[in-house]
Amino acid sequence: MSVAQGGRRDQLQILRLALEAQGIPYGLGQEEGGWRLLVPPQRAREAQREVQAMLGESVQPRRPLPAPEGDSGWGAAAVILALLWILPSLSGLGLLPLSLTELGLGDAERLRAGELWRVLTPLMLHGDVPHLLGNSLMAVLMARLLGPWLGSAYGWTLVLLAAALANAINLGLAAPGFRSLGASTALFAAFAVFGVGRLKAGAPRRPVGGLEALRWAAPLGAGLAWLLLFGLGGGDPRVDVGAHLWGFAVGVVLTLANPWRPSAAGPRARWALAPVPLGLLLGAWLWAVFAA
């Protein structure tokens, strides 16, 4: 009686060994469609149990995709909006001197002269209201993506470090007299941190099928597409293309090179890093003010 079949003889090898281990006699029969594993009728039920057990062990269960485990991201979005709008609001009310913008501007010459705070302070400055509105909307979107998957504190700490390093490279390589401002550097870094960080957060190391691998790589691909579509400026001389490119590139490298990621689910890990990006920004502005 046939209990298993295969296109080639060697495909039945494991099942043959299982039957031998249980002392069940067997034989091999070749037909037009391939090979069959044959056993005496009185041992057929026992042999079928062994075959089913072996086949069940050889099938690897599909790993369920992990669900987001961080925070909602709304808290981070509110903090970021406050940071982006506080200086324009106070300036509009006449509570801040206009020279504060000059003090925090990304200036290649002054950065090379030692005014290192200029790698961070430009992130809170914008040239006009449309620029500020566009970056505000993108910041809320990125906060809602980073929070659930990576945890807001961890995600935005990486983003700010990547933006600072990207501004340092961009301004350090720029010609004398080059100046820039805006949060776009951090936002393109955020695309990269989210794309790479989501992969590191729980994507299967050996995805089952190409579609599953594509699903996990899609956020990084979307960030790259956004960079190509909107980050290159379309010939607009006002767009700081270098800041966008360096922001994305440094975000990718920094997230890949970072060996440690706290569990976003734990409240301690979720908020322990929160003072870091806020402290860096506040420290940069205090440095700028006291050095003036």
Domain boundaries, given as residue ranges, for the chain: 2-57, 74-291
Residue 206 reports pLDDT greater than 60: no
**What pLDDT, on the 0 to 100 scale, is given for residue 61?**
43
Grade residue 218 by pLDDT with cuts at 50, 70 and 90: low
pLDDT at position 273 is 81
Query: How many CA atoms are closer than 13 Å to the CA of 179, on its beta-carbon side?
Result: 11
Q: For 114-149, what is each residue's pLDDT tens digit?
A: 999 999 999 998 888 888 998 999 999 999 988 888
Residue 62 reports pLDDT greater than 50: no
pLDDT the model gives residue 84: 92
Whole-angstrom CA distances from 76 to 72, 73, 180, 197 are 9, 5, 25, 17
Q: Looking at residue 159, what is its pLDDT? A: 94
* % of the chain with per-residue pLDDT over 90: 28
Residue 216 has pLDDT above 70, yes or no: no
Q: Which residue has the higher pLDDT, 57 or 184?
A: 184
pLDDT of residue 57: 46
The least confident of 2-16, 47-61, 174-188 is 47-61
Give residue 126's pLDDT: 86
pLDDT band at 79 (very low <50, low <70, confident <90, very high): very high
Look at residue 91 and tell me whether its pLDDT is greater than 50: yes
User: Mean pLDDT in the chain?
Assistant: 79
pLDDT at position 32, please?
A: 64
pLDDT value of position 251: 92
Task: State the CATH architecture for 74-291.
Answer: Up-down Bundle (1.20)
Say what the pLDDT of residue 200 is. Answer: 73
